Amino acid sequence: MMHRSLAPSFVLPLAVSILAWPAAAAEPRAVGIDDFDAVRSVGSPAISTDGRYAAFELDDRIYVAGLSGEEPRPVTTPPSKASDPYWSHDGQALYFLSDRSGTRQVWKLPLDTFGEAVQVTHVERGLETLQFSPDEARLLLTWDDEGSDEEPEDKSRAAATDAAPETPAEPFVIDRLQFKEDAGDGYLTARPSDHLYVLDIASGAVTQVTRGRYTESDAAWSPDSGKIAFVSNREEEPDAGYRTDLFVIEASGGAPRRLTASDYVKSAPKWSPDGGWIAYRSAVDGVYGIEQLALISAEGGTPRLLTAELDRWVRDFRFSRDGRWIYFRFDNHGGQHLARVRLSDGKIERLLEGARTVSSFDLGAGGNVVVRASHMNDADELYRVRGGEVLRLTNVNGEYFASRDLGAKQKASFQSADGTLVEAFITTPPDFDEGRRYPAILDIHGGPVWQFAYGYDFGAQFLAANGYVVVQPNPRGSTGRGQDFVNAIYRTWGITDYDDVIAAIDHAVAMGIADPERLAVTGYSYGGYMTNVVITRTDRFKAAASGAGHSLIAANYGHDIYQRWYNWELGPPWEHRDRYDALSPLLRAGEVETPTIFLGGRLDWNVPILNAELFYQSLRHRGIDTRLVVYPGMHHGDWDPAYDKDYLERVVAWFDRYLKPDVR
């Protein structure tokens, strides 16, 4: 139910600036549906070896920005696509991935002349990631079994693809416990088979490092390029739970050595600069457990939690060059902030807080940190952080924001029914008049372990531009408030968090900005589930739009991708059907009076369209105004932009019909 280094002689070539603010333009206009993908996405920064520059991806090109505020310049050209910039350790070149030869390969751009890039790899199947060994002699790859000299366990679907049109496709033959995924046909006919490989740059030879019935992920080189740490679930039945452990293996292959042995879920190992320690993220479970930063000796032993006192969800992290600190991002009250922890004593220093979302970062020489961040109501840009100083490096969306009249976004705090403090982001229409009440939309996020955050939100702005106040709460179950706040919805989906989302809309009414007679509710994924819950428990909402929300939980056991989750939290339905039914809004469809539109992807195996069909049929049978919209070929996410736009326009039209009768 998841939501939606440079040489000193380097001279930047002349190019059109992407940093300067635009000249005065025409009167700004409100956000429209054609602005759906107008905001440009700045990639994660990569700081050069000497700490003077940051490379990043933008519009399928690589750009370089000076950390003293020089204007960014493109260093690759279309029509080929370039991504994943990586600075050579000697400071003489910039590597990147590009499809300019037909498949994605590694290319090397010399920085003394910034002339033509040279192709480094010639791998037939192409490359998805760029992960050099520290000595830059090899690349670490994660491939499925089709990349090895062993036969994959099941080639039936590939064979069917090559068959003549009149030949029936081979049947799906399944013996796995976890046999669904939200991709392709949806069925998994064999065990996972992602293994580690090493590509020698000079010779082009590929060596398979791991093999067998298990799968590996999150692999990381040791500083001496001799070992690889990785994550794997090597239990007898890997499909039965979320547990993973850390392993270390020689880069030449051999038997892996297990580092951890606990029921915790581990991910993203990284070696300390001296190779003596491995840091990683650790969670007590695979559903509600917040990921904390942990540290273990590279030889094994007892792990140490470094961020237990912080009690926040840790995202990506980096060791400082001297190995004394680990810098990391963490969720906090609707934002993502930057901090560091000292390994010697566990001291935590918060480095960048406030009304911002730090979505990635990199560390450089001289105390430089470059972050990709957004603030209350803008989009991601790159900033240099040094001491208490923050310097903006890019402004790729300045022209867009200067030409749009945005609705104001604010964060509010209030109490839920039991006194729990809850927060929400509230976006008002661009022409907001404080003396007037507006139709309001309660927008509930997916996950449920996720959060609405600081930053530009096109969906909220589009709804606000159509005259609505948009209320986006972070109820219990959301990240950013600690483990107990997340755990509060254990076996109480739609019960504990229902009070919180209702408190959010009540707060907007009490503020005098939301019209209590013109309220609507919507959400996608778990937010769609919560929308289904809300309309079964109150008739105060005049319209609802439910996107990809569960309705009859027991019907999804084995039909969607969440058998691990159900078995872990609810148990099997034949033993605990009461738990499933208590959390299934469809069984209270007889109490719904709210006109509701249901929307979803036809090939969604995360939240199958069955859920929307069941609820739609129930309301249609009862004579409640309803509609079902099914998008062909779409899974749970990554929709065709035309369908994304259609979705939003249909939701607005549905709400207008019931909340704005004067424009019907």
Do residues 336 and 479 both lie within one domain? Answer: no
Is pLDDT of 486 > 60?
yes
Is pLDDT of 24 > 80?
no
**What element of type H or E holds 547?**
strand 543-547
Is pLDDT of 11 > 50?
no
Q: Is residue 372 part of a domain?
A: no
Q: Is residue 595 part of a domain?
A: yes
Q: What angle do CA 504, 445, 628 make, to 5 degrees?
A: 110
CA nearest 120: which of 151, 98, 142, 90?
Answer: 98
Q: Is residue 63 part of a domain?
A: no
Reading the block at residue 581, the tokens are 């039914």
Cis peptide before 439 (omega within 30 of 0): no
Q: What is the model's pTM? A: 0.92
CA nearest 246: which of 232, 235, 227, 236?
Answer: 232
Q: CB of 183 within 8 A of CB of 162?
A: no
Indicate the residue among 354, 385, 420 that finishes a domain: 354
Do residues 552 and 481 both lie within one domain? Answer: yes
Give the 3-state secondary structure of residue 502.
Answer: helix
Is pLDDT of 147 > 90?
no
Q: Residue 83 and residue 360: Cα distance in Å, rounded?
A: 16
Question: What are the tens digits of pLDDT across the range 426-444?
Answer: 999 999 999 899 999 999 9
Do residues 514 and 629 both lie within one domain? Answer: yes
At residue 113 the predicted structure's pLDDT band, cuts being 50, 70 and 90, is low
Is pLDDT of 458 > 80?
yes
Do residues 536 and 637 both lie within one domain? Answer: yes
Q: Is residue 421 part of a domain?
A: yes
Q: Is residue 371 part of a domain?
A: no
Q: Quick one: the chain helix, strand, coil %, rounded to 5?
A: 20, 30, 50
Indicate the residue among 332, 354, 376 that finishes a domain: 354
Do residues 333 and 434 both lie within one domain? Answer: no
Domain that holds residue 219: 191-354
The pLDDT score that the predictor gives to residue 191 is: 73
Q: Is residue 278 part of a domain?
A: yes
The pLDDT score that the predictor gives to residue 629 is: 98
Cis peptide before 79 (omega within 30 of 0): yes
The pLDDT score that the predictor gives to residue 581 is: 98
> What's 532's domain CATH number?
3.40.50.1820
Q: Residue 249 and residue 228: Cα distance in Å, rounded?
A: 5
Q: CB of 376 within 8 A of CB of 454?
A: yes
Radius of gyration of the chain (CA): 26
Which residues lie closer than 8 Å to 51 by C-beta, 6 or more apart?
5, 67, 364, 365, 366, 368
Q: CB of 267 within 8 A of CB of 244?
A: yes
When pLDDT is averaged across residues 252-271 and rounded to a whole number, the result is: 96
Indicate the residue among 321, 337, 354 that finishes a domain: 354
> What's 313's domain CATH number?
2.120.10.30
Do residues 324 and 422 both lie within one domain? Answer: no
When pLDDT is averaged across residues 304-324 and rounded to a whole number, the result is: 96
Give the 3-state secondary structure of residue 61.
Answer: strand
At residue 145 the predicted structure's pLDDT band, cuts being 50, 70 and 90, is confident
Q: Is residue 132 part of a domain?
A: no
**What element of type H or E holds 538?**
none
Do residues 346 and 411 both lie within one domain? Answer: no
Exposed, middle or buried by CB within 10 Å (0-12, 13-18, 19+), for 344?
exposed
Total domains in the chain come to 2
Do residues 432 and 534 both lie within one domain? Answer: yes
CA nearest 407: which of 424, 428, 433, 377?
Answer: 428
Question: What are the tens digits of pLDDT across the range 551-571?
Answer: 999 999 999 999 999 999 999
Do residues 414 and 311 both lie within one domain? Answer: no
Do residues 560 and 447 both lie within one domain? Answer: yes
Do residues 341 and 420 both lie within one domain? Answer: no
Q: Give one DSSP letter per residue of 184-215, joined into a string.
A: TTSB--S----EEEEEETTT--EEE---SSS-
Q: Is residue 69 part of a domain?
A: no
The pLDDT score that the predictor gives to residue 26 is: 78
